[in-house]
Amino acid sequence: MLVMNIVSEIVERALAEDLAGGDLTTEATVPESTIAVGRAIARAPCVACGADVFAKVFYSIDASLRVEGSVEEGSWMEAGQALWEVEGSARSILLAERTALNFVQRMSGIATLARSFVSALPEGCRTRITDTRKTTPGLRHLERYAVRMGGAHNHRDMLGSAVLIKDNHIEAAGGITTAVAQARKRAPHTSKIEVEVESIEQVEEALSAGADIIMLDNFSLEQLDSAVALVKGKALLEVSGKITLDRIADLARRGVDVISVGALTHSAPAADIALDIERLS
């Protein structure tokens, strides 16, 4: 679920970026009295995502506009299908068009990529596909929402959400055992402790130290099999690093609990969505 006060702040910044100098073209060519309808059309198949953000952009420009959605959020759209519609002042629609499309193209693109990764899991598999913190600065709230609309899950939302001891923490703390022990002392009792490891030896140390979750970073398949056999359900196992779509089914069948995919947010291609405007009067 989107938090609309956060959405409002994001939209306000985006509109200020695009409209700081007004819109010379629209003001010069479109009469104030012109009424139009704009329809957001999927030019290629995608997962629809961002209806509330789309509407918020237009209403921020002109509260008298009418914005309606014709599809359920997170639904699969074929090329040529209409997603959302806006009606009212043609000037207002044109002022908001690019910003609104930028948001929904980005969000629908992420949702579409997330859906493809989830669909690659073997049927009945318990493995989760999650995102990472590799998000666009300032847009994490929208991008995380899009991941969920695609059927995947979110990792920790911010640094304060959970303990995740990575390679640099291990180095700075003086080792996995010390890092986990200090985390147990200082972190809230409600927080799980995750440790990122790069070798089977580190898996053994993290397990002995009492880690709740062990992240296997860039493990080979042979190393992964060894880790699964070693852990035997004593901790959750997450795999990360160079995760591509063609590896998902194989990784999941090996018995891991979580596959984290940075590409869901940092490399998702924008969905091909356009706004077709029709003059009404």
Burial class of 58 by CB neighbour count within 10 A (0 to 12, 13 to 18, 19+): buried
Q: Which of 39, 98, 247, 254 is catalytic?
A: 98
Q: Annotated catalytic residue: which of 196, 205, 238, 257?
A: 196
276 annotated active-site: no
Which residue is catalytic, options 87, 205, 217, 238? Answer: 217
To the query of whether residue 126 is one of the catalytic residues in this protein, the response is: no
Give the contacts of 103 (CB within 8 A, at least 6 positions apart).
11, 14, 50, 53, 54, 57, 142
Active site residue 192: no
> Of 23, 62, 134, 156, which is the active-site residue?
134
Task: Decide: 53 and 11 in contact? Cβ < 8 Å.
Answer: yes
For residues 128, 132, 137, 141, the Cα torsion angle rounded to the nearest 10 degrees is 30
Give CA–CA dist 69/6, Å, rounded.
21
Nearest to 48 by CA among 12, 23, 72, 79: 72
Token couple for 20: 């700081």
Is 234 a residue of the active site?
no
Question: Active site includes 166?
Answer: yes
CB atoms under 10 Å from CB of 228, counted, come to 18
Residue 106's nearest CA partner among 161, 144, 155 is 144
Which residues form the catalytic set? 98, 134, 166, 196, 217
